[in-house]
Chains A and B, each alone.
Chain A
Amino acid sequence: MKMRARVITLSLLALAAVFTGCQTPVRLTKAEAFPLMYMESPHVVAVLPPINVTTSADAKDYYGTTIAEPLNQLGYYTIPIEILNDILEAEGLTDTEVFKDQSMRRFGDILGADAVLITEIKQWDKDYMVVSSTLTISIDARLISTKTDQLLWNYNGTIVVDLSGNSGNAIANLIVTAIQTAMADYVEYARLANANLLYSLPAGRYHPLTGTDGTQLLTFPPGVTPTSLVTATPETTPGE
């Protein structure tokens, strides 16, 4: 409970930062940012094993258990993670990096997926400092069409949690910090990062808002470019 309060406090502080100091973020509606989502309306999603660029070896396995449920709650049908992981493992395809430059069509042909979700764990770590420590989880995600191989949606979900205790006594703070840091459950916070990530995703077929949330306004943090702008830039055509 205390931690949640801290998250919110931190969020409010961050909101203040938005109004005062940040670079101007891009603001677009969902339909402007992700027009192909509304044209293709992907429904069945194959969630590939996360790409992990952090030094935390467990992150890949653990994060993978957090993403399917919220996607289904948003109205999508995800191929059960445990099943898909085993299929990929049997084919020797546990490293999602391998798919980066490949066509995703086979996920449609063989498994019936309309889109593939690729997640990349950018940060999954704790910063230990003397009087405070923070936990940061940052996830980049993109949906790719199995019909056209085009990027349908992409976004970033990040959460920074202040884990420090503040008793006013430095020694006590150290102890509290150590305890709270040990207890902090990465996965619990990864779910919050996912919430941050998935609010930008248009609702899926089984959701009451499906097809009607195109006017919702999204803010793109610096470093995240909406797909409409990505696809507008000329790219090398994938050879086939």
Chain B
Amino acid sequence: MHRSTLCVIGALPLLFGCVASTGLYDYGKYSQLQYHMHKDATPEAFAKYEEEVLRLIEKAQKKGMKVPPGLFAEYAYLQGLKGDSATAAIYFQKEVELYPESQKYVDFLRGISSPQDVPVPQPASETSTQIEE
């Protein structure tokens, strides 16, 4: 067992280089603050995490970079948790526009979080028929 773990570690120096250079997005302190939100479980840790999500969105937008996958949706979700369903709807829509592959789970979330006060902006014509199948 010890041997085998050591063997795995042998490959480590090879990895340091490539992992650092393949980053596609700026995730800032996203993961660290998410960890602290779980570890500390305080309102302050939650607020810091939420701030970082918004900061990263705005930073990417300012620089003309692609907003990392999931950040719009996550910010939307956090706003929804706080009861701000109007902002939630706007940011969910941004996620779907930037990453159409998010459509299904975003629709699922829209479905479970009080659909009457989350107006879902839909391109008028074909979509209604699609939904009804």
| Residues on A facing B (Cβ under 8 Å) | 7-8, 10-15, 17-18, 21-23, 25, 43-44, 58, 61-62, 64-66, 68-70, 72-84, 86-87, 90, 110-113, 136, 138, 156-160, 187, 191-192, 195-196, 198-199, 203, 206-207, 209, 219, 221-223
Contacts and interface: CB of A to CB of B under 8 A. Distances in A.
Interface of B is mostly: helix
Given A78-B69, A156-B8, A159-B12, A72 B24 contact: yes
A47 B68 CA distance: 17
18 contacts: A8-B12, A12-B13, A22-B4, A61-B39, A62-B38, A65-B34, A72-B70, A77-B101, A78-B70, A80-B73, A82-B34, A82-B74, A82-B77, A83-B74, A112-B102, A187-B35, A207-B24, A209-B22
A199 B15 CA distance: 7
B5 interface: yes
A195 B30 CA distance: 17
Contact of B35 (A8, A21, A62, A192): A62
Contacts, number: 154
A145 to B, nearest CB: 16
Interface stretch (B57-65, B104-112, B116-124): B104-112
A153 B103 CA distance: 25
B43 interface: no
Nearest to B23: A73
A112 B103 contact: yes
B9 A160 contact: yes
Given A62-B39, A77-B70, A111-B105, A157 B8 contact: yes
Nearest to A218: B11
A112 B104 contact: yes
Contacts of A198: 19
Contacts of A68: 31, 70
Interface of B: 3-16, 18-19, 22-25, 27, 30-31, 34-35, 38-39, 68-70, 73-74, 77, 99, 101-105, 108-109, 112
Contact of B5 (A79, A138, A192): A138
Nearest to A43: B101
Contact of B11 (A13, A82, A111, A196): A196
A218 B99 CA distance: 31
A221 B70 contact: no
B27 A73 contact: yes
